[in-house]
Amino acid sequence: MKNQSMWSLRLSTAALVLIPVAVGVNYIGKLIAAFLKLPLWLDSIGTVLAAMLGGPIVGALAGAINNIIYGFTDPISFVYAITSVAIGLAVGILFYKGYISSWGKAIVAGLIIGLVATVVSTPLNIGFWGGQTGNVWGDALFAFILANTDSTWLASLLDELVVDVPDKLLVVLISFGIFKGLPRNVVQLYNNNEKIETLD
Amino acid sequence: MKSISLYVERDSFIHEVDPITKMIYILFALLIPIILPSFTISFLCLGISLLLLVMAKVIRKTVPVFSFVFLVLITVVIIQGLFKPENETVLFQMGPLAMYKEGLLYALTITLRVMNIVSSFMILVLTTKPSDLVEALVRKGMSPRIGYVIVSVFQIIPEMMSSMGTITDAQRARGMETEGNVIVRIKAFVPLLGPVILGSLINTKERAMALEVRGFNSRAPKTYLYEEKTYTHGRLVQSVMLLLVVGAIVWRIFA
């Protein structure tokens, strides 16, 4: 049987089970970042890992369900489901095409994902918050830019950029590192390749 | 094991309402202020949501969520009041800084919108058990496998949190520093996160096998453990909300 396309909607049980774990990992990442008082969110490690292991559809689903569940405790996160889906899709596509195969390429990929996240989140920020992000440094920058130029879009874009790109870069690097450290039999679980090998 | 769900067990009328109706209410509370953008309508919707929260006797549980949102909203009000691009009319001066009317009005719109979303969501979240919500959705036709995924998140997260606690203690006992300057804290991140993630992923293999053995992938129609709860007035309330939305659209077009 041939290799399943990365857009296949047929999700194996292993892929479905991966999704709640990805949400849990996202949550733990967020908790640890808060516990260690780091100035970043670090709440998409699970989504990126799910995308690396299971492809873009699994990554996107993990991202969507992650924000939907967060929406239960913090309703604002609900609308950023779109951003999470975008991140899952982007990482899945890049990874599947082999663009994240070394640390150097992972850095580039991290920057790309940061840009994707920024571009998708900025309209959401403007629509819901008038352009702010809720992050202290980003909003300080936002105020500064808004005071000196007349463009809300520019201020919001830079606000989100300054917070999201370092955050996603770090997330992709951490996920890549973890992915490389995973035992092969776990990675193999999610491999959609249905080649059957016989021993005789 | 602490659950991450905000569900509060109370004996009120709202708790007895069909989860689907509550979800439609959220849509309703969001659409009406968008269709009819006036402060009165927004205040009205917010008022109705708050009233429902009081009726459900869960209003005190909304305070932590509201306070968190308020913190961000205050910065929005300040920044928009001071710096919004089309600011013209000055309302009052504080030394070198001036608060403008347009900015404050815009900030008010945002505040009302955010509070509307939060309160209507809270009605759903505080009065519905996640398993009831998922069951209602699955009965309506959502794939039971996605239903499982959602329910299992509520179970997995407390599990992972307690395992993280164990791992943190174990690492600290072996000499990992978690307090100090930023570099020290960053160095602590990987030894904390790594084992948790690896352990959970390896666990998924067993989880997947357990599900397969119990017929997770079977296409045969599923049966339900609990009897279907009949909700009074479900249809009626949903039709009323639909009519109101249509009415709002009509009003907007013709007035």
Distance (Å, rounded) from C-alpha B254 to C-alpha B80? 33
Number of domains in chain A: 1
Contact A65 B149 (CB under 8 A): yes
Sequence-separated (6 or more) residues with CB below 8 Å from residue A16: B145, B148, B149
Q: Does B196 touch chain A (CB under 8 A)?
A: yes
Is residue A86 situated within a structural domain? yes
Residue in A36, A141, A152, A170 to test binding to B, most B beta-carbons within 10 Å = A36
Q: Which residue in the set B110, B196, B201 is minimally distant from A130, CB to CB? A: B110
What percentage of chain B carries pLDDT values higher than 90?
0
Chain B residues whose CB is inside 8 A of the A72 CB are 5-6, 121, 125, 130
Distance (Å, rounded) from C-alpha A93 to C-alpha A6? 8
In this prediction, residues B48-68 reach a mean pLDDT of 82
In this prediction, residues A154-163 reach a mean pLDDT of 82
Is residue A177 situated within a structural domain? yes
Is residue A57 situated within a structural domain? yes
Q: How confident is the model at residue A2 (pLDDT cuts 50, 70, 90)?
A: very low
Whether residue A200 is predicted with pLDDT greater than 80 in this model: the reply is no
**A92 CA: distance to closest CA in chain B (Å):** 18
Contact B79 A37 (CB under 8 A): no
Whether residue B19 is predicted with pLDDT greater than 70 in this model: the reply is yes
Residue B71: closest C-alpha in chain A: A134
In this prediction, residues B212-237 reach a mean pLDDT of 80
Cβ atoms of residues A121 and A158 within 8 Å? no
Is residue A159 situated within a structural domain? no
Q: List pLDDT tens digits, range A107-116.
A: 888 888 889 8
Chain A residues whose CB is inside 8 A of the B212 CB are 13
The answer to whether the pTM exceeds 0.95 is: no
- The predicted pLDDT at position A98 comes to 79
Chain A contacts in chain B segment 69-88 (CB below 8 A)? 69, 72, 75-76, 79-80, 82-85
Is residue A180 situated within a structural domain? yes
- The predicted pLDDT at position A133 comes to 73
**A160 CA: distance to closest CA in chain B (Å):** 15
Q: List pLDDT tens digits, range A58-78.
A: 889 899 988 888 877 776 777
Residue A24: closest C-alpha in chain B: B157
**Cα-Cα-Cα-Cα dihedral sign, residues A157, A160, A164, A166:** positive
Contact A74 B203 (CB under 8 A): no
Domain spans, chain B: 14-128+228-254, 136-213
Contact A73 B125 (CB under 8 A): yes
Is residue A197 situated within a structural domain? no
**B244 CA: distance to closest CA in chain A (Å):** 24
Instruction: Report the range of poorest mean pLDDT among A174-178, B15-19, B92-96.
Output: B92-96
What Å distances lie between residue B41 and A166, B34, B37, B78, CA to CA?
41, 10, 7, 24
Q: Give the per-residue SS3 of chain B.
A: CCCCCCCCCCCCCHHHCCHHHHHHHHHHHHHHHHHCCCHHHHHHHHHHHHHHHHHCCCHHHHHHHHHHHHHHHHHHHHHHHHHCCCCCCEEEEECCEEEEHHHHHHHHHHHHHHHHHHHHHHHHHHHCCHHHHHHHHHHHCCCHHHHHHHHHHHHHHHHHHHHHHHHHHHHHHCCCCCCCCHHHHHHHHHHHHHHHHHHHHHHHHHHHHHHHHCCCCCCCCCCCCCCCCCCCCHHHHHHHHHHHHHHHHHHHHHC
Distance (Å, rounded) from C-alpha A164 to C-alpha A177? 20
Q: Which residue has the tokens 């292991």?
A: A53
Q: Does B205 touch chain A (CB under 8 A)?
A: yes
Chain B residues whose CB is inside 8 A of the A183 CB are 202
Listed residue (B193, B156, B199) closest to B171, CA to CA: B193
More confident residue, B44 or B188: B44
Distance (Å, rounded) from C-alpha B220 to C-alpha B204? 24
Give the three-class secondary structure for A43. coil
Instruction: Report the range of poorest mean pLDDT among A185-199, B38-52, B53-67.
Output: A185-199
Q: Which residue has the tokens 């504080």?
A: B94
**A63 CA: distance to closest CA in chain B (Å):** 12
Distance (Å, rounded) from C-alpha A61 to C-alpha A59? 5
> What domain range is A92 assigned to?
13-123+167-189
So what's the ipTM on this one? 0.75
Whether residue A152 is predicted with pLDDT greater than 50 in this model: the reply is yes
